[in-house]
Amino acid sequence: MEFLIIGVSHHQTPVAVREKFASMEETERLVCKSGPEGGTIRESLVLSTCNRLEILAVSPQPDEAGREILESLSTVSGLAIDEFLPYINEYRNIEAARHLFRVASSLDSLVLGEPQILGQVKEAFRQSLREGRAGIIINKLMHKCFRAAKRVRSETSLAGGAVSVASAAVSLARALGGGSLSDSSVLLLGAGPMAALAAAHLRRRTPAALTIMNRGLEKAKTLAAKHGAQARPWDELSPAVLEADLIIAATGASSPVLSFETIGKTLALRGPRPLYIIDIGVPRNASHDLKKLDNVILRNIDDLNEVVWESRAARQEAAMRAEGIIDEEVEKFSQWLKSLSARPTVSALTRKAERIRRMELARTLSQHDFDDSQKAALEAMTGALVRRLLHDPLAFIKDATGAGAAECLRPDGPCDHSGDCSPGRDRLATIRRAFKIEPEDGQFCG
């Protein structure tokens, strides 16, 4: 059994491609059709954010599982595999664990140290639990992941004064506006978590006016009341755009809400006054064709790199300490995997010894007329005898695990790790041959 992570992220995949994978529900339906009862993918988790879509899968056939995931992503995106394959990242086993720990600790985020990603990872785990897709590997992996993220936040300054995608968007807005929003009328589209963060940062920058619009008017009113803004119904989008100097779009819409036609008609009434649009939605909220319009300055989530780079540079020292914490927690998880690999052999040996003990005890009791106290004494004595006899073989198995048997997660075939796993594997094989036992199929090697 192995585990792998396959997906796309902001590092190598432009938003024009990332937005094709934004349907998390469809991805979960296709990728997670297998389950604990059988199939290629035994456990799974889907992490979908504005900057990444990554699938964590546990499988006894990782190559086949990888192919299934790519086929599912092709179905979700409408793209041929060859079209998005250059953007795909894949991690396996310990490197997959390291990647996940870094993601949850915001070391892999567009905005280094941003706090939202940990909550998104936790929600992905809760969803996997709710749907019965998380088994022993994902459960342990995620709890170790959360511990690593907690240590990074408590033991480093990485999250100190952390910024988010929303705050980076507001910083970009200020830069486009000459360093201040005090003379700008701002229109915020959306009322979800990202829009709420943007509203909070906008309020601190005191724009001349702030209007919030959402397809659900009540949510817009609630957010506007919290931040001293005005809420308008969605059917007033055109007049609201006409009055705005800056639009920050952060809706969860599956297609652009700011179309070429709508903005083009509005521009005809605005005169030469420029319109700044910062689109942080994935899928994009603003049509890419808007860049063709005169007096429209359009930026999307990929353009935030120019804003966050200074913050990233200032956090590098904390990031180095955080990487050390990740290394420590990955090693602890690796040790757990090592112990897990020996469990089938331990269980099989213990079961066989107990079966023999009970069989011989039953035979002895049937041949003699023992009273209850004598039977209890024999039960205790034979149990202690078996435990004493098993002590050295079990210690030998534990030592074999430490010698590298579990560094290899393949139940057969060559080791795919850089270390030499063969001594430990040979020790466990010797134990199984000596005691004529076999672990159950489908377990980790050992």
> What is the distance between the alpha carbons of residues 60 and 381, in angstroms, rounded to a whole number?
42
Tokens linked to 246: 């800056």
Phi, psi of 227 (to 5 degrees): -120, 20
> What is the distance between the alpha carbons of residues 197 and 217, in angstroms, rounded to a whole number?
18
Task: Report the Cα 13 to chain-centroid distance in Å.
Answer: 17
Report the side by side order of strands in the sheet with 52-59. 43-49, 52-59, 2-9, 89-92
Establish how many alpha carbons lie within 13 A of residue 329's alpha carbon, considering only the half-sphere containing its beta carbon: 27
Phi, psi of 206 (to 5 degrees): 45, 65
Tokens linked to 126: 């809760």
Phi, psi of 274 (to 5 degrees): -70, 150
User: What is the radius of gyration, based on Cα positions, of the chain?
Assistant: 29
Tokens linked to 127: 């969803």
Establish how many alpha carbons lie within 13 A of residue 59's alpha carbon, considering only the half-sphere containing its beta carbon: 25
Catalytic residue among 32, 50, 145, 408: 50
Amino acid at 423: P
Contacts of 119 (CB under 8 A, 6+ apart): none
**H, E, C per residue of 46-75:** EEEECCEEEEEEEECCHHHHHHHHHHHHHH
> What is the distance between the alpha carbons of residues 94 and 376, in angstroms, rounded to a whole number?
48
Report the side by side order of strands in the sheet with 275-279. 230-232, 209-213, 185-189, 246-249, 275-279, 296-300
415 is an active site residue: no
Which residue in 349, 343, 339 sits closest to 431, CA to CA? Answer: 349
**Looking up tokens 């988790």, which residue turns up?**
45
Active-site amino acid positions = 50
